[in-house]
Amino acid sequence: MASAPVSSAAPQLSTTAPAGHSVVPIDLGERSYDILIGDGLLKAESFAGLPRSAKALIVTNTTVGPLYTAQLRAAIAPLHQQVLDVELPDGEQYKDWPALNQVFTKLLEEAADRKTVLYALGGGVVGDMTGFAAACYMRGVPFVQVPTTLLAQVDSSVGGKTAINHPAGKNMIGAFYQPLRVVCDIDTLDTLPQRELLAGLAEVIKYGPIADAEFLSWLETNLDLLLARDRAALRHAIQRSCEIKAWVVGQDEKESGLRAILNYGHTFGHAIEAGMGYGAWLHGEAVGCGMVMAADLSARLGLIDEATSQRIRALVERTGLPVQGPDLGADRYIELMQVDKKAEGGEIRFVVVGPLGQAGMRGAPDAMVRDVIAANVR
């Protein structure tokens, strides 16, 4: 690889307690916390040891709220005198200031103090917004992630990246702010639409090329089980994804180096999302397609061979995710990628793979980027 940082071998899979849930620790000094992964975790035991407070606020959306708010409310009732909730509109297009402000308004109307605990119940949008609300309300209150989508369980709820979108860029306004705990109840995936399950699998697949070639092989072998929502397969996939993410985030909490590899597929993906208007493509769909483009770029840069690039493309395609981007025009792709947070001084920095199971960041010649775009849009 031409440029640092390069990931090296991720840690081995930890042993799963035979009955019960798995625990993946995130080691961030005084901001360390655990990810709990298992079935039936929306119960009091999963929240034991978290801070008690007069008030708590469950932040959810109009889709997830009716399904799980009552269960979560019962689970955290032992910790709080009053459990409030607020339902935000559902969708990436509402990951914005007006929706965020609904949380602040609710907290202030209820005279919620600095010890109030926020619970994020939902997918990535709810998690990112709740985390950012917690980071900002009275300059910081504690929060807990209860992700109910595969994407949130394997990626967005872990690691403390919180944000809202700006019309000119995705996740441009946010904070690094760690939760006190992440509770991933696999049962909540039962109600997840298939399209969102597939979008979540894009972020699962991501961990193979960037950190664990064996996991990529495991995914190729077990994809049908995952698509059929086999509990054991899902649990393994979630746990391994969280372990790799924990290992990366533990080394680089604030994305000054290694952590950027988690954005594999995201530079092209963000351009697709922004270019189509937030919400048209699901984030995971854009990332899936973005990984195909980034694999192609890696091959053109000579970091992996063409067969490996095709292998990544084939897995994304078998998953049912788009492998061709919208034809926005190369200029527009490049313009949108230059606004990405990973750009520096206008130079676009791509997460590239090579050899398989390792990743790094680097720029690429403009002509090559245009070739990648031309070859992967329709």
Task: Give 281's DSSP letter.
Answer: S
Rounded CA gap, 149 and 227, in Å?
A: 14
Through-space distance between the first and last CA atoms of the chain, rounded to whole angstroms: 30
Counting contacts by CB under 8 A, is residue 135 touching a second copy? yes
Q: 203 among the known binding-site residues?
A: yes
Counting contacts by CB under 8 A, is residue 114 touching a second copy? yes
Q: 372 among the known binding-site residues?
A: no
Nearer to a second copy, 114 or 318 (CB): 114
236 catalytic? Reply is no
Counting contacts by CB under 8 A, is residue 172 touching a second copy? yes
Q: Which residues are 303's β-sheet partners?
A: none
Count CB-CB contacts under 10 A for residue 139. 7
Rounded CA gap, 143 and 155, in Å?
A: 17
Residue 134: closest CA among 165, 149, 111, 112 = 112
Counting contacts by CB under 8 A, is residue 225 touching a second copy? no
55 catalytic? Reply is no
> For residues 3 and 146, is the Cβ–Cβ distance under 8 A?
no
266 catalytic? Reply is yes
Listed ranges 27-35, 109-117, 148-156, 229-237: which one lies at the site for a second copy (CB under 8 A): 109-117
Counting contacts by CB under 8 A, is residue 370 touching a second copy? no
253 catalytic? Reply is no
Task: Give 192's DSSP letter.
Answer: S
Counting contacts by CB under 8 A, is residue 345 touching a second copy? yes
Minimal distance, residue 134 CB to a second copy, in Å: 11
Q: Which of 11, 20, 40, 140 binds a second copy (CB under 8 A)?
A: 140
| SS3 assignment, position 101 | helix
Nearer to a second copy, 34 or 110 (CB): 110
* Catalytic-role residue among 165, 171, 263, 376: 263
80 catalytic? Reply is no
Type of residue at 42: L
Residue 208: closest CA among 319, 125, 372, 343 = 319
Listed ranges 72-80, 198-206, 310-318, 344-352: which one lies at the site for a second copy (CB under 8 A): 344-352
| Cis peptide bond prior to 322, omega within 30° of 0 | no
Listed ranges 22-30, 68-76, 161-169, 182-190: which one lies at the site for a second copy (CB under 8 A): 161-169
Counting contacts by CB under 8 A, is residue 113 touching a second copy? yes
Q: Which of 236, 266, 341, 362 binds a second copy (CB under 8 A)?
A: 341
Counting contacts by CB under 8 A, is residue 30 touching a second copy? no
* Catalytic-role residue among 55, 235, 236, 283: 283
Q: Which of residues 35-94 bind a second copy (CB under 8 A)?
A: 54
Residue 160: closest CA among 64, 35, 45 = 35
Cα 10–Cα 241–Cα 50 angle in degrees, nearest 5 = 110
> For residues 235 and 37, is the Cβ–Cβ distance under 8 A?
yes
Listed ranges 17-25, 135-143, 262-270, 308-316: which one lies at the site for a second copy (CB under 8 A): 135-143
Q: Which of 3, 14, 62, 105 binds a second copy (CB under 8 A)?
A: 105
Listed ranges 168-176, 220-228, 229-237, 238-246: which one lies at the site for a second copy (CB under 8 A): 168-176
Beta pairing, strands 33-38 & 22-26? antiparallel
Size of the site for a second copy (CB under 8 A): 37
Q: Which residues contact residue 116 at a Cβ distance below 8 angstroms, ignoring those fewer than 6 apart?
A: 53, 54, 55, 56, 57, 107, 137, 141
In degrees and rounded to multiples of 5, residue 311 shows phi and psi of -65, -45
- Residues near a second copy (CB under 8 A) are 54, 97, 101, 104-105, 108-109, 111, 113-115, 135-140, 161-163, 166, 168-169, 172-176, 254-255, 338-339, 341, 343-346
Mind telling me the catalytic residues?
Answer: 139, 161, 203, 245, 255, 259, 263, 266, 270, 283
